[in-house]
């Protein structure tokens, strides 16, 4: 049976609940890092927004087999006008279907979709940034409860050219009653030649990346009162460059 890769555009689609129940719950067992079905639906309803020169577009693709969802990827295209970046939200494949190339196909779809958005909005797509569980920041219990060995996950991304940004990122709470997440690090994948082999990232570039993440994925209130965002802002002011390792 072939695998169908379907973009979810209808907020009432059953694919949203299937993706959540069949893929996200298993792949992201920590409920505090996981969007629930109402949040996923809201993302599909809002899908596009603009604010001044900023353009944001949400995408959710599911991998379906025999009528069920066995994997998926969600991400944002975010443009500042002249240049744009992609921001990963979730990627997951059901355990029994891993190591068959579905993850690679979902990564390809994400890249192609971001380039198509950049062409549509006539801007320069610089990079993709994702959040990855950082085993050096995780407690033993968090490592034990993870859905895969976090060191292997880091290697999975590294082999594909993603590099960790040495910055103390905090994912702001995704619901008011949830805590912020302290064990994620940002990884960057360059789409443009001048960023290949980058060894460091400037404060201004990192500020844009953090701004995008917090604006799209995290905040439950105004950004300027969010304690996680304020902490990152103050840490940013202390260094001019941050290592990319």
Query: In angstroms, what is the minimal distance from the CB of 213 to ligand COA?
Result: 13
Structure tokens at 145: 């409860």
Tell me the residue number closest to ligand COA, measured at CB.
103
Structure tokens at 191: 């789409």
Query: In angstroms, what is the minimal distance from the CB of 61 to ligand COA?
Result: 13
- Judged by CB, which is closer to ligand COA: 55, or 154? 154
Query: In angstroms, what is the minimal distance from the CB of 113 to ligand COA?
Result: 17
DSSP string, the chain: -PPEEEE---TT-HHHHHIIIIIIHHH---GGGS--HHHHHHHHHH-EEEETTEEEEEEEEEEEETTEEEEEEEEEEEE-SSEEEEEEEEEEE-GGGTTSSHHHHHHHHHHHHHHHHHHHTT-EEEEEEEEEE-TTTS-HHHHHHSSS-HHHHHHHHHHTT-EEB-S---B--SSTTSPPB-SEEEEEEE-SGGGTT--EEEHHHHHHHHHHHIIIII-SS-GGG-HHHHHHHHHHTT-SEEEB-
Query: In angstroms, what is the minimal distance from the CB of 237 to ligand COA?
Result: 28
- Judged by CB, which is closer to ligand COA: 55, or 216? 216
Give dist(CA 35, CA 157) in Å, integer.
Answer: 22
- Judged by CB, which is closer to ligand COA: 109, or 223? 109
- Judged by CB, which is closer to ligand COA: 102, or 165? 102
Query: In angstroms, what is the minimal distance from the CB of 24 to ligand COA?
Result: 9
Give dist(CA 105, CA 29) in Å, integer.
Answer: 23
Query: In angstroms, what is the minimal distance from the CB of 161 to ligand COA?
Result: 12
- Judged by CB, which is closer to ligand COA: 112, or 202? 112
Binding site for ligand COA (CB under 6 A): 27, 91-93, 98-104, 130, 132, 147-148, 153, 156, 159
Query: In angstroms, what is the minimal distance from the CB of 111 to ligand COA?
Result: 13
- Judged by CB, which is closer to ligand COA: 157, or 178? 157
């Amino acid at each position: 049976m072939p695998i169908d890769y379907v973009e979810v555009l209808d907020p009432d689609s059953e694919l949203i609940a299937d993706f959540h129940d069949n893929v996200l719950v298993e792949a992201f067992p920590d409920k505090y890092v996981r969007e629930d079905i109402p949040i996923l639906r809201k993302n599909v309803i809002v899908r596009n927004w603009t604010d001044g020169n900023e353009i944001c577009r949400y995408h959710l693709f599911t991998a379906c087999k025999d009528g069920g969802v066995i994997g998926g990827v969600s991400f944002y295209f975010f443009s500042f006008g002249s240049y744009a970046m992609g921001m990963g939200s979730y990627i997951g494949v059901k355990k029994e279907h891993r190591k068959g190339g579905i993850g690679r196909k979902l990564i390809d779809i994400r890249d192609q979709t971001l380039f198509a958005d950049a062409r549509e909005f006539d801007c320069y797509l610089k990079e993709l940034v994702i959040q990855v569980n950082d085993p050096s920041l995780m407690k033993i219990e968090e490592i034990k409860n993870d859905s895969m060995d976090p060191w292997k996950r880091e290697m999975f991304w590294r082999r594909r050219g993603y590099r960790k940004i040495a910055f103390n990122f905090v994912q702001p709470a995704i619901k008011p009653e949830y805590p912020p997440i302290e064990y994620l690090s940002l990884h960057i994948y360059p789409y443009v030649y001048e960023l290949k082999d980058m060894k460091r990232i400037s404060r201004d570039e990192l500020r844009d990346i953090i701004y995008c993440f917090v604006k799209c994925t995290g905040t439950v209130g105004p950004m300027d009162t969010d304690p996680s965002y304020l902490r990152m802002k103050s840490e940013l002011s202390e260094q001019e460059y941050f290592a990319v390792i």
